[in-house]
Amino acid sequence: MSTVPAVMPTYSRVDLSFDRGEGAWLLANDGRRFLDFASGIAVTGLGHAHPHLVEALTSQAAKLWHCSNLFRIPGQERLAQRLVDGSFADSVFFTNSGAEAIEAALKLARRHQHVVRGETARYRTIVTRNAFHGRTLATVTAGGQAKHVKGFEPLVEGFDRVDFGDLDAARAAVTEETAAILVEPIQGEGGIFPAPEGYLSGLRRLADEHGLLLILDEVQTGVGRTGKLFAHEWDGIIPDVVAIAKGIGAGFPMGACLAREPYASALVAGSHGSTFGGNPLAMAVGNAVLDIILAEGFLDGVSARGADLIARLDGLVHRHPTILAGVRGRGLMIGLVCAAPNGVVLNALREQGLLAVPAEAGVVRLLPPMIIGEAEVTAAEEMIDRACVHLEREAA
C-alpha cells in the first residue's frame, strides 16, 4: 500500500479549506470566516466572485472554451491591444502562468541577440540574489534560492547573480556573453524589498550602454498591485520586456510577456508557442479585469488604501515592538517585518481571522484584494492588534 498521498505532497498545507468567497472574505468549510489578505498570493486582486468577472467568464464558457492559437482569437487581440495602449509595450505573448511568461522573456532575449543582432555569444542573464521568478528549471535557476534548486542540479546554464540594489555589482557582471538583465521592481517572496531609488534607472542605462535587454518580473507587482498598472512606472523607466501573471487573471490561470517592438519581433511563427495560452476563457477574464483596473480613479484608490494601511501598521509596530519590527512596501503589496518568528505571527493572525502570506527575511506579506475599503482596513488592523496582544501574553 502506498504511503504517498493521492495529491503529490509538494506543499506544506494549513488544515483549512474553503467553501466560497465573497469579495475580500473567504468562508471555510468549518463555518469560520476569514479576511483574505493573502489573495491567493497576490492573485485574486479583485476579490472573490466579483460579479463582473463571473459574468465575463460564464458568458464566454457558454460560447467557446478553446480553439488553439491556430486561429485568430478576438478576445486575445483586444486584450493585447489594451495592454499595449496602457504600457511601454508594442506586442504581447500570452501564457498560462508567470513562470512561462519569464521563460518567454528569457527566450526572447537570447533570440533577439542571436537572430536580430547576430550576437550568438550573448546568452547570459544577470539576475539578483534573493529573487523569485517561478518553478520551472530555468526560472528556479534564475531565482537561485537554495531551497528551490536543491536536488534539481545540474541547473540551467547562463545566469550571473549579483546583490539586489547594487548597481556597481551589476556593472561588473557584464561580459561579452551577457544578453539581458532580469529583476523584480519589488522583491516579493524575498521579503518585500522595493528597488532602491535610482536602481532601475541605473539598470536601464547599463542595459543601453551594452546592448542588453532589461527584463522586469512584474508577476506579483503588475496589474495595479502597487497603485499603478505596472510597478516600474513609479521609477519612470521604460523596460524592454515585462512578465506578468497573477493579477491579470484574478484567479484564472494566465500570464503574459509584454515587449517593445525591436525585441518582440525576434519571436516569429514557430519560434515559440503555447497550447492553452491566450485561450478565449482566459481572455474574457483578462479583459474584464482591465475593465475594472483601468476605470477612472481605481488605481488612485489602491494607492490611498495602501497608504492608509501602511500608516496603521506603523502604529501597530510602535505598540507591539516585541512582535513587529517594521513595515515596507508600496500600494497594497506590503511586508510586515516581524520581531517574533514570522510563522508564529502568521498563525496568530489566522487565529484572529486574517489570512496572509509568509516571505523570506522574517516577513509576513499582506496582499489584500484591491477592492478593499476602510472597513476591511480597520478589520485587519484590529485583527493584527489582537494577534500581537495574544502573542505578548503568551511570552509574558
Q: Is 41 strand, coil or helix?
A: helix
Q: Is 361 strand, coil or helix?
A: coil
Count the Cβ atoms, other than its own, within 10 Å of residue 300. 11
Distance CA 55, CA 43 (A): 19
Instruction: Check the annotation: does 132 bind a ligand.
Output: yes
Count the Cβ atoms, other than its own, within 10 Å of residue 57. 18
Q: Which residues contact 372 (CB under 8 A, 6 or more apart)?
A: 24, 47, 305, 332
Instruction: Check the annotation: does 71 bind a ligand.
Output: no
- The secondary structure of 267-316 as a DSSP string is --TTTS--SSTT-HHHHHHHHHHHHHHTSTTHHHHHHHHHHHHHHHHHHH
DSSP state of 247: G
Let me know how long the chain is.
Answer: 396
**Residue carrying the nine cell digits 501598521:** 313
Instruction: Check the annotation: does 98 bind a ligand.
Output: yes
Q: What do you get for the CA distance between the two ends of the chain, in Å?
A: 48
Instruction: Check the annotation: does 218 bind a ligand.
Output: yes
Q: Burial letters for 60-76: b for 16+ Cβ neighbours within 10 Å, e otherwise? A: beeeeeeeeeeeebebb
Query: In the structure grid, which three cell numbers stand for residue 362, read together?
Result: 522574517
Distance CA 381, CA 370 (A): 16
Q: Which residues contact 283 (CB under 8 A, 6 or more apart)?
A: 60, 73, 75, 76, 78, 79, 94
Which residue, among 90, 109, 107, 91, has the nearest Cα to 99 in the 3D structure?
107
Query: In the structure grid, which three cell numbers stand for residue 200, read together?
Result: 532601475
Which residue, among 249, 192, 212, 216, has the nearest Cα to 142 in the 3D structure?
216
Instruction: Check the annotation: does 219 bind a ligand.
Output: yes
Cβ atoms of 178 and 165 within 8 Å: the answer is no
Question: Distance of alpha carbon 316 from its chain centroid, rounded?
Answer: 26
Instruction: Check the annotation: does 184 bind a ligand.
Output: no
Q: How many CA atoms lie within 13 A of 218 on its CB side?
A: 28
Q: How many CA atoms lie within 13 A of 141 on its CB side?
A: 17
Q: How far is CA 272 from CA 83, 85, 268, 298, in A?
A: 20, 24, 7, 35
Give the residue numbers of the binding site for pyridoxal 5'-phosphate.
98-99, 132, 217-220, 275
Give the residue numbers of the binding site.
98-99, 132, 135, 217-220, 274-275
Give the residue numbers of the binding site for N(2)-acetyl-L-ornithine.
135, 274
